[in-house]
Structure 1
């Protein structure tokens, strides 16, 4: 097979597999209210929402452990090996969630089982995103690496979109009572089956040229893999830089796509239909423009693109949330458009940027560790933290402050970063 054919196969196979994670995220976001009633029934809707967000966050809190597990596997035994193992674990845990009885059937065991399965999912995704970025980046030509890796983000958003659409279709067909009774299980079955298909594809995708060279002895350092402590001591500047960029990227992602729809319903009194339609339009817009911003990243430089995105978020976050609170249709649409534009500067360029921070022999470990620590502390916990802070303080601008904080971290990470756009990955 030609190099272009191998690249196309790698991008397709890995992107489809990574979609499963975001499909699952869309399920939780779209069915948060329903799952709260199934697993955490109380008389207080705020407490139900916080409880289900806490269960969701549990999967993120264990992701660093997944990074420590899958990172060394990817560096020692192959990028493809780690990705096959991660999607297998994810698919199994997702199918198990679909079979958990409700709280009314088995009591406290129900939410406990949900949290355990979420933790298994979190463990598996600890090696998923970083491995996917690395796999595509190591297959890509230097001059178009940003564009090809941007398709990974396209796949993520597509998974989020498809998951949301499927939940909406099933909900409209079955109705709320049936969804609470058993309908919520159907999307998880679909996600698990998608994972099995992705597993089959990954088993038939070639290993990256970089790792094949390492296997052939051109990178003998893999035979003497450094200890975790030695790795941290040597790579800590790049680990911190990666974590800062990941914080800016994921805070933006989880607030804009994952949290604002529930925010508009829970705190602004908007209808669920309006919120769902807004989320759908936003997701379609991202799908359309992510590859475009990937191409722009190759042309104008990834560091420049990320800097523009961070500054845009800082100066617009508070005005945008004032617009969201205005209840005016035009103000809300304009506000969301600005936030989406800020997202796109990250969506199109962040996979290639993060991959280029580390040398080949420690790339998977460093990426997985720093990425997942940052996501766990600042990204996946964003819905829970923002909901709790708003409930405690009554300040509905909390998400705007959270966005600004993430963007500031991003700018700090970009300071003195060497831009490797169009250049070979470090060895």
Structure 2
């Protein structure tokens, strides 16, 4: 891996400026991810309001989930375009633009007319705004990792990237809790009349607050140093990535695959799977989901701090082994009746925190001049591919191999993560010899 070129003391502790940058970045990331995922928590009322009443309910829901998925498909476009300008014009500009592009369509969704008012224009507008959200988050996540990593000393990159990843997780938890509160407080008719708009309006307003807060952030020292030395890439940064940094791209794709398996299967899909496959009560499944999301946020911070102490490769090795064990423990317990479901789901959420070290590996894999483009293209393309294919693949695997199929899939990607870690450690020993 290429070491980051940082014009600062590697061993100094985080100072007040660093902590402010990390806090503002994590807050903005939480609000932006809240805006991105809250859509799925209101899929049922959206399916009733944005499609003809004569539509079969399950088909209307499929169409809404298709609009939700369009956001994921738009991520690579946003990530590649915004990363290009991030490597050319500066990290801060794209970092601020991404949160603006998320806040605007989120507020817009909350103000949209429904099918009864404008007909088919309603779902088309909803699709358009969802695509803009996908473009925004495609630039936000890799851009935020690069931004915080280039602001802190090299030996604090782990906790910097992990704090941002933890913030993204908090955004998912906020969306889940707000959705539960609105559904519990309002009648079904009130939810259809106006309640569904509330989370989008709230998210849009707080998104613009995040835009304002990011005005106080400064450009990264790494980019400023490259600009001063005229080391910025003259042509297309992505072309240089493809020509000279293919091993780094492969590394990033593989660790992103493990990340998507852990997040999509164990955090996003498991609450539904435990109800449909293991007959866990919805209330208990919701409790487990929220506990796991909280311990995931804590786990990200723990693995990020560990990365700064023992290195990201060793942390990945230990963390991937823990992910393998936790995933099997959770699903074996469910297969045996699920007596310890909530406790084991909390442990699994913490184990999924190994994903907090993934951005560290990707940041260090690319040199600063093409870091944003290399990380963004690799991460977004891999996430669009594996994130999009994982849900239907898990459905097929469950039908073929039984209830433990999700644990088998996550376990296979964890083994791949361990293999990547061993290759990196062997490379480090060879370079030190």
TM range (shorter): 0.7 to 0.9
Q: Give the distance between the partners of 1:398 and 1:99, measured in 2 at CA.
A: 41
Matched, 1:242 2:242: no
- Measured on the aligned residues, the alpha-carbon RMSD in Å equals 2.8
Match of 2:109 in 1: 97
Distance 2:427 2:167 in 1: 24
User: Structure 1-normalised TM-score?
Assistant: 0.87
The alignment partner of 2:304 has SS state of: helix
Query: Which of 354, 370, 375 pairs up with 2:378?
Result: 370
> How has the CA–CA distance of structure 1 residues 354 and 185 changed in structure 2, closer, same or farther, with 3 Å as cutoff?
same
Q: Do 1:20 and 1:159's aligned partners in 2 also have CA atoms closer than 8 Å?
A: yes
Distance 2:290 2:20 in 1: 29
Q: CA deviation at 1:318?
A: 4.8
Q: CA deviation at 1:105?
A: 4.4
**1:126-146 superposed Cα distances (whole Å, 9 cap, x missing partner):** 111111111111111122221
Deviation readout 1:50-94 (Å, 9 max, x if unpaired)? 443332221111211112201111111110011111111111111
The aligned runs of 1:221-240 (5 Å cut-off) are 221-226=231-236, 228-240=238-250
Could you tell me which residue of structure 2 aligns to residue 133 of structure 1?
Answer: 145
1:4: Cα distance to partner? 1.9
Check whether the contact 2:183–2:191 (CA below 8 A) recurs between aligned residues. yes
**Cα distance between partner residues in 2 of 1:419 and 1:199:** 43
Evaluate the alpha carbon distance shift between residue 157 and residue 118 of structure 1 in structure 2; reply closer, same or farther with a 3 A threshold: same
> How far 1:256 sits from its partner (Å)?
2.0
Aligned match of 1:13 in 12, 24, 27?
A: 24
Match of 1:22 in 2: 33
Q: 1:90 to 1:395 in 2, by over 3 A?
A: same
Residue in structure 2 matching 1:379, options 384, 387, 397: 387
Instruction: Note if 1:155 corresponds to 2:167.
Output: yes
Partner of 1:80: 92
Q: CA deviation at 1:319?
A: 5.2
Name the CA distance, whole Å, in 2 between partners of 1:390 and 1:116.
33
Structure 1 residue 120: Cα displacement: 0.9
Alpha-carbon distance, 1:419 to partner: 9.4
Residue 120 in 1 paired to residue 122 in 2?
Answer: no
Q: Which position in structure 2 is the counterpart of 1:339? A: 348
**Offset, 1:294:** 2.0
Instruction: Name the structure 1 match of 2:322.
Output: 312
- Count of residue correspondences: 414
CA pair 245-99 structure 1, distance change in 2 beyond 3 A = same
Contiguous gaps of at least 5 residues in structure 1: 422-427
2-side partners of 1:107 and 1:405: how far apart? 46
Residues in 1 aligned to 2:84 and 2:425: alpha-carbon distance in whole angstroms: 25
Q: Secondary structure at the match of 1:406?
A: helix
Q: 1:297 aligns with which of 293, 303, 307?
A: 307
For the residues of structure 1 that align with 2:339 and 2:61, how far apart are their CA atoms?
Answer: 26
Aligned to 1:256: 266
- The question of whether the paired residues in 1 share the 8 Å contact of 2:47 and 2:63 is answered with yes
The TM-score with structure 2 as length reference comes to 0.86
| Post-superposition offset of 1:152 | 0.5
CA displacement at 1:226 relative to structure 2: 3.9
Give distance in 2, aligned partners of 1:315 and 1:278.
18
Q: After TM superposition, list the pairs within 5 Å mapping 1:172-251 onto structure 2.
A: 172-217=184-229, 220-226=230-236, 228-251=238-261
Query: How far is 1:408 from its partner?
Result: 4.1
Moved more, 308-317 or 165-174: 308-317
1:403–1:138 Cα change, 3 Å: same
Deviation at 1:169, TM superposition (A): 1.4
Partner residue in 1 for 2:5: none
| 2:156 matches 1:144 | yes
Supply the distance in 2 between the matched residues of 1:119 and 1:420 (Cα, whole angstroms). 40
Q: Which residue of 2 aligns with 1:110?
A: 122
Asked whether the 8 Å contact 1:63–1:122 carries over to 2, the reply is yes
